[in-house]
Structure 1
Amino acid sequence: MSMLEVKDLVVSYGAIKALKGISFSVEQGEVITLIGSNGAGKTTTLHSISNLIKKESGSILFEGEDITNLSADKIVNRGLIQVPEGRRVFANMSVRENIEMGAYLRKDKEQIKKDMEWCYELFPRLKERLSQMSGTLSGGEQQMLAMARALMSKPRLLLLDEPSMGLAPILVDEIFNIVQKISKAGTTILLVEQNAFKALSIANRAYILETGSIAKGGNAADLANDDAVRKAYLGG
């Protein structure tokens, strides 16, 4: 049984079919990436899984349970946590308060403390800025904060939407190193990313989305060496 199974997912925005019946799976412990150009349907796929947008048809199974029509808050309760594109931190709250917000559904106080310490290890920049207002952080720091907040929810499956968007190359490397550490610590990851080269370098498997359909899927290393993929997404 796959951890996540998306079957024949169809989503429309008015007359436009954003997703045309896509199917894919995520196994426990994997890093899976969805790559594709702008408007290919990557973010729509994540929003459909989190039930933030209405699906026309298709089904989504998480750990064997049908979550297709489960409300977004119940999906979060199951341990399926999304880090949205554009970061969306609580700007008027401190870094510490944002991180604590991630754990608001949890009761295990001792483990929460340990998880906060782990977040500070993963994101030392945040540890230096705990009392700073989150809205005053740089883009890269806000991305780290959004990820730290999500990790405090104890995700079983972490959905990452464009974590490198708008970041300087040195920060992109840092974010991807952190994604690898999160994966090694046992969290399964579904990554949507425009930086196909970086995404393929850390993923186990990848699916290429083109205008709402999966054009190709397979082992990430194989796709990174595929001539057609290199030409379309990796700049030759």
Structure 2
Amino acid sequence: MGEMLSVKNINVYYGSIHAIKDVSFHVNEGEIVTLIGANGAGKTTTMHAISGLLKLQSGEIDYCGQTISKMEAHKIIRLGLAQVPEGRRVFSGLTVQQNLQMGAYTRRDGKEAIQNDFDMVFDLLPRLKERRNQPAGTLSGGEQQMLAMGRALMCKPKMLLLDEPSMGLSPLLVKEIFKIIRQVNRNGVTVLLVEQNAKMALEIANRAYVLETGTIKMEGEATELANNIEVRKAYLGCE
């Protein structure tokens, strides 16, 4: 299992604010790795930097042995690195089916392969199949999250960046979304997960990094961090 993603000493500014300070971490092929931290810790900024939506001040990001830190976002997607953004961002006026088709727009591998992936997404997310002709705007929050994940899977990614997939969802739906993430990973997709629900994230991840005000404060096996006293107090609501 080699390194699939390597983030080395990255620095990102928002105007004059130093949002990400010398952050380094890696994700091995086949893993689920999670970045946990409070609101404003820099988790989403880190994701945007990886997917090419934000420029680095310094540092380097390598993916599958290739430097992507100066690459445009659409080219990064073509390399098989897809992001499911915070807040889902589905195309509300388009149907479920059309949203999924948008996910496949960068592909060059023909109709049959794309149809196979439609079948795969509908097997994984049967609720989307039932609602394939409905406008995405009429779906519940949980269904929109499933659609955003399905749309990213239509890019045929090797790695999925998930930004706050549980945000705004009921505990029951959160469980369902995390079950789907686990299944996506079992199907061979490496996952980098940014998540405020640290308890759920640490339950499914192999390894974790704790981000605080733009720096990595702790790292380790997910089970080890889940039992760490500081992590339990700060992020798991344990006294």
Normalised to the residue count of structure 2, the TM-score between the two structures is 0.97
SS of the residue corresponding to residue 9 of structure 1 reads: strand
- Report what 1:62 is aligned to: 63
Shift of 1:151: 0.2
Shift of 1:15: 2.1
Question: Is residue 103 of structure 1 aligned with residue 120 of structure 2?
Answer: no
Find 1:177's aligned residue among 169, 179, 184. Answer: 179
SS of the residue corresponding to residue 3 of structure 2 reads: coil
Find 2:166's aligned residue among 151, 164, 167. Answer: 164
- Report what 2:228 is aligned to: 226
SS of the residue corresponding to residue 166 of structure 1 reads: coil
Shift of 1:108: 2.9
What amino acid is aligned across from residue 97 of structure 1 in structure 2?
Q
Give the Cα separation in 2 of the matches to 1:93 and 1:5: 36
Matches within 5 A, 1:27-38: 27-38=28-39
Shift of 1:135: 0.8
Give the Cα separation in 2 of the matches to 1:99 and 1:66: 29
Give the Cα separation in 2 of the matches to 1:102 and 1:208: 31
SS of the residue corresponding to residue 120 of structure 2 reads: helix
- Report what 1:128 is aligned to: 130
What amino acid is aligned across from residue 44 of structure 1 in structure 2?
T
Give the Cα separation in 1 of the matches to 2:163 and 2:117: 22
SS of the residue corresponding to residue 76 of structure 1 reads: helix
Where do 5+ consecutive residues of structure 2 fail to align?
Answer: none
Matches within 5 A, 1:47-86: 47-86=48-87
Shift of 1:109: 1.9
- Report what 1:152 is aligned to: 154
Larger mean Cα displacement after TM superposition, 216-225 or 11-20? 11-20
Shift of 1:115: 1.3
Cα deviations by residue, 1:170-224 (Å, 9 ceiling, x for unpaired): 0000000000000000000000000000000000000000000000001001000
Question: Is residue 15 of structure 1 aligned with residue 16 of structure 2?
Answer: yes
Shift of 1:51: 1.2
What amino acid is aligned across from residue 106 of structure 2 in structure 1?
L
Shift of 1:154: 0.5
- Same amino acid, percent of matched pairs: 59
What amino acid is aligned across from residue 180 of structure 1 in structure 2?
R
Where do 5+ consecutive residues of structure 1 fail to align?
Answer: none
Give the Cα separation in 2 of the matches to 1:93 and 1:198: 31
Give the Cα separation in 2 of the matches to 1:15 and 1:99: 38
What amino acid is aligned across from residue 210 of structure 1 in structure 2?
E
Shift of 1:20: 0.5
Cα deviations by residue, 1:46-89 (Å, 9 ceiling, x for unpaired): 00001101211100001111111011111111011000000000
Give the Cα separation in 1 of the matches to 2:42 and 2:106: 31
